[in-house]
Amino acid sequence: MILAFQLAYRNLMGAGLRTWLNAAVLSFAFVIILFFNGLIDGWNQQAKLDNIEWEYGNGQLIHEDYDLFDPFSVQDGHGVLPVSEQENLVPILVRQASIYPEGRMLSISLKGIAEEQEIVGLPTHLLTNSTAEIPVIIGKRMASAANLRVNDEVLLRWRDVNGTFDAQHVTIVGIFDSNVPTIDNGQFWIPIKKLWEMTDMEGHATMFISTVDQPKEIPGWNFRSQEDLLRELTEIIEMKKASSSIMYILLLAIALLAIFDTQVLSIFRRQKEIGTYIALGMTRHQVVGLFTVEGSMYSIFAMILGCAYGVPLLIYLAATGIGIPEASQEMGVSIADRIYPVYGFALILGTIALVVISATIVSYLPARKIAKMDPVNAIKGKLQ
């Protein structure tokens, strides 16, 4: 085996340019696989942190009648939790409402939140400090959708607990910049006490953000842990990963095809050499092994080559991050303006294994033919 490596190394080095071309193509595949997966892993990590920081806290305690995916459940999905039970919990009350910016009507979620909270990144202190009658903070996406700026006033219409409409001007006291669209798109955040007043729903909440991992169980309320809440995001990102893999699988396929092609050609062209190996006392299986190792060695060279330009490049990209175009931020999944790729140990090992194993397989397939060669004809270089 060591001999096969030694000989394969000599053969490949001797073949010069052809070797490096194959290795170069394969190294592109290698670096790009690492980069893309690193990018997505980086996105995943960042999105998780963002979601925890802005929305999920240490988990959420949700009223059993409230379903995030069913807007109609907002109507009745709320309840009162005695203050004595509210230890480590930040209440949020969700109501449906409309705003009328520049004469248009936009439906929004009106969310009351305990303004003294510090568990999520929402700048609720702005609500406390404001002297406005009804202070509101909104996200940058909401701001641009409704064309609102700080200190703008906009007409808000809502229903109270009995379904009676009421309307009043509210004041934008802050616009926050978050990567998490689900707390931004179509949402107005106001002090929960104000919302209770406006709707006559003193003490009601739709959900609570927990500041501890394991709050005590309360009947009528479901606790969803951080992990549970993040699961969906992880699934979306995994899907994204699978769909983007098409592209580098294609690239890898091209690289493997180049190796396969080189192998088929070289077994065809190097018959005389194969015959000579056998005459010199190698068994056919040793020769098959030699050609297979030669092929899989492309992957080793690719790795060395890939490291030469890939390591600095990938480290640079991990440090500076990749700018994400505005358009992709409308997707509804958390995504930052810059993603910083992360290259995990598992990713690197997995990629190495993928490249080495696939290169070995495509080298072995044509090399099997050697085992059936007649050495006498091979020495003469006669095609069979």
Query: In the set 107, 164, 283, 328, which binds another protein (CB under 8 A)?
Result: 283
Q: Does 288 bind another protein (CB under 8 A)?
A: no
Query: In the set 183, 195, 205, 282, which binds another protein (CB under 8 A)?
Result: 282
Q: Does 285 bind another protein (CB under 8 A)?
A: yes
Q: Does 33 bind another protein (CB under 8 A)?
A: no
Select 181 or 275, whichever has its Cβ closest to another protein.
Answer: 275
CB proximity list for 73: less than 8 A, separation 6 or greater: 65, 66, 67
Select 46 or 363, whichever has its Cβ closest to another protein.
Answer: 363
Q: State the Cα angle at 272 between 267 and 273, rounded to 5°.
A: 75
Q: What is the nearest approach in angstroms of another protein to the Cβ of residue 233?
A: 54
Residue 61, beta-bridge partner list: 208, 223
Select 8 or 252, whichever has its Cβ closest to another protein.
Answer: 8
What sign does the dihedral 134-137-140-142 (CA atoms) show?
A: negative
CA separation for the pair 356, 74 (Å, rounded): 54
Q: Does 284 bind another protein (CB under 8 A)?
A: yes
Indicate the pairing of strand 204-205 with strand 79-80: antiparallel
CB proximity list for 69: less than 8 A, separation 6 or greater: none
Select 194 or 284, whichever has its Cβ closest to another protein.
Answer: 284
Q: Does 3 bind another protein (CB under 8 A)?
A: yes
Tell me how many residues contact another protein (CB under 8 A): 24
Rg (CA), the chain: 31
Q: Does 310 bind another protein (CB under 8 A)?
A: no
232's tokens:
């969906």
CA separation for the pair 107, 132 (Å, rounded): 22
CA separation for the pair 383, 176 (Å, rounded): 74
Instruction: Let me know: does 67 contact 342? Beta carbons within 8 Å.
Output: no
Query: In the set 193, 231, 272, 382, which binds another protein (CB under 8 A)?
Result: 272
Q: Does 382 bind another protein (CB under 8 A)?
A: no
Q: Does 279 bind another protein (CB under 8 A)?
A: yes
**Residues within window 340-379 making contact with another protein, judged by CB under 8 A:** 375-376, 379
178's tokens:
């978050």
Binding region for another protein (CB under 8 A) out of 9-17, 103-111, 183-191, 349-357: 9-17
Count H helices, E strands: the chain?
Answer: 10, 13
Select 13 or 249, whichever has its Cβ closest to another protein.
Answer: 13
Query: In the set 162, 281, 326, 345, which binds another protein (CB under 8 A)?
Result: 281
CA separation for the pair 12, 25 (Å, rounded): 15
CA separation for the pair 283, 125 (Å, rounded): 80
Q: Does 11 bind another protein (CB under 8 A)?
A: yes
**Residues within window 37-96 making contact with another protein, judged by CB under 8 A:** none
Q: Does 265 bind another protein (CB under 8 A)?
A: no
Q: What is the nearest approach in angstroms of another protein to the Cβ of residue 179?
A: 55
Say which residue the tokens 């001999």 belong to: 3
Residue count (the chain): 384
Q: Does 109 bind another protein (CB under 8 A)?
A: no
Rule CB under 8 A: which residues touch another protein? 3, 6-7, 10-11, 13-15, 272-273, 275-276, 278-286, 375-376, 379
